[in-house]
Structure 1
Amino acid sequence: MSRRSKMASAAKEWASKPLIGNENKCGPDLEPILCYFPREDKSVGFDWCAAFVYHCCIEAGLNLPVRYPAPVSRNFAWVEAWIEWGQLYGFYHHKSDLTFTPDQGDLIIFDNLVGNGLNDHIGVVLAIDQDKIITAEGNYNNLSGIFQRAPEQVNGYIRIDDTYQVRSNSLIIKE
């Protein structure tokens, strides 16, 4: 089974539970997703869509560090970190790239989906269905779920090459 198939399978499984955050964007449903990332107060979470994607990567066997070294500026709990990392390896494809066709297991980045401007949400592509993209997402209104999205909402995609390997544990940066 390809890594992208494993990603889609993990994302579908976790999004279908569904995961529900409390008023502080944490709680027992979310702790398996949030536990990778440093927090001073475990009773307070954060916007967790990117953490959801990170967890799905781990479940699919891609053992990324919590924070990739420079030039990636943040940990993988931030959508921007995914874009920076994707650009670093040539995995990021802006929606204007007409040579790229999204497929199952690709990461999908949205603009202004949750009202926070550019790059404000991320999920995993499950399928392309005519003019809709079926996705698995975390933290859409503090819930996980399976959604149908219009292509107009998309910023771009990240396709993680099946041959990509994290070189060593020395990449792990503790915050």
Structure 2
Amino acid sequence: MEKPTKEKLARIAKDMAQVPFHGDIDGTASNLAPIVRLFPTWDLKEADGLWCAAFVYYCCTAAGFGIPYRPAECKTCHLAGCLGWEEYAIGDQRIEYHKGAEGYAPEAGDIVLYDRVFENKEHDHIGIVLEKRRRTILAAEGNVNNISGIIERPIDDHIRAYIRIPDGYRYRDE
């Protein structure tokens, strides 16, 4: 089995964002079942319009990273929630966590947490960095108007944090 890497995660995220995945939009039934299936207490109706973090988890598992949907570090929610990703990254010392956009050079395969992108609240969105440009990042994101896509976003104060999962990472040795 090929070792999971952040480069592989970026490739998979790019491909998955272009499927595109979507919730119920314009009379077209949701195709989120493969993503939602990873969260046993969730269903398509609950996920509709709230699945950006679940998309990130789906891409991570497809890349081969061994991460449970609710690691012990997640105190308030599972990895279908942006806050769960932050709790997990801060709680597992093997994962790099960098607060804010300043002083960090994101790379393809890093996870980016956002504040106040769609709502005036913290932890409201998440994506996977595909490329860092001069003043922007290109990211694969789920649930942008209930559809996945590749989005260019400024490197600014909407970026809450970056998370880097190390190559070959498994939550627990198996």
TM category, shorter: 0.7 to 0.9
Structure-1 residue corresponding to 2:152: 148
Structure-2 residue corresponding to 1:92: 97
Contact 1:103 1:128 in 2 (8 A): yes
Contact 1:110 1:154 in 2 (8 A): yes
Deviation at 1:19, TM superposition (A): 1.4
Structure-2 residue corresponding to 1:38: 40
Write the deviation string for residues 4-31 of structure 1: whole angstroms up to 9, x where unpaired: 01110111001011112106xx944211
Tell me how far apart the structure 2 counterparts of residues 27 and 44 of structure 1 sit (CA, whole Å).
14
Correspondence for 2:55 among 43, 52, 55: 52
**Structure 1 counterpart SS, 2:40:** coil
Correspondence for 2:83 among 80, 84, 102: 80
Cα 1:119–1:130 change in 2 (3 A) is: same
Structure-2 residue corresponding to 1:166: 171
> Which consecutive residues of structure 2, in runs of 5 or more, have no partner in the other structure?
none
Aligned partner of 2:170: which letter? Q
Structure 1 residue 3 corresponds to structure 2 residue 5: yes
**Structure 1 counterpart SS, 2:86:** helix
Cα 1:13–1:119 change in 2 (3 A) is: same
> Which consecutive residues of structure 1, in runs of 5 or more, have no partner in the other structure?
170-175
Cα 1:111–1:52 change in 2 (3 A) is: same
Tell me how far apart the structure 1 counterparts of residues 4 and 71 of structure 2 sit (CA, whole Å).
23
RMSD, aligned CA: 2.2
**TM-score, with normalisation over the residues of structure 1?**
0.85
Deviation at 1:128, TM superposition (A): 0.7
Contact 2:8 2:109 in 1 (8 A): yes
**Structure 2 counterpart SS, 1:123:** strand
**Structure 1 counterpart SS, 2:6:** helix
Structure-1 residue corresponding to 2:122: 118
Cα 1:5–1:43 change in 2 (3 A) is: same
Cα 1:41–1:132 change in 2 (3 A) is: closer
Write the deviation string for residues 59-106 of structure 1: whole angstroms up to 9, x where unpaired: 1101211111145331110100100111112422111652x3211000
Tell me how far apart the structure 2 counterparts of residues 11 and 157 of structure 1 sit (CA, whole Å).
16
Deviation at 1:55, TM superposition (A): 0.3
Tell me how far apart the structure 2 counterparts of residues 166 and 57 of structure 1 sit (CA, whole Å).
12
Write the deviation string for residues 119-141 of structure 1: whole angstroms up to 9, x where unpaired: 11000000011111000000011
Deviation at 1:45, TM superposition (A): 2.4
Structure-2 residue corresponding to 1:139: 143
Question: Kindly, what percent of the aligned residue pairs are identical?
Answer: 36
Contact 1:27 1:43 in 2 (8 A): no
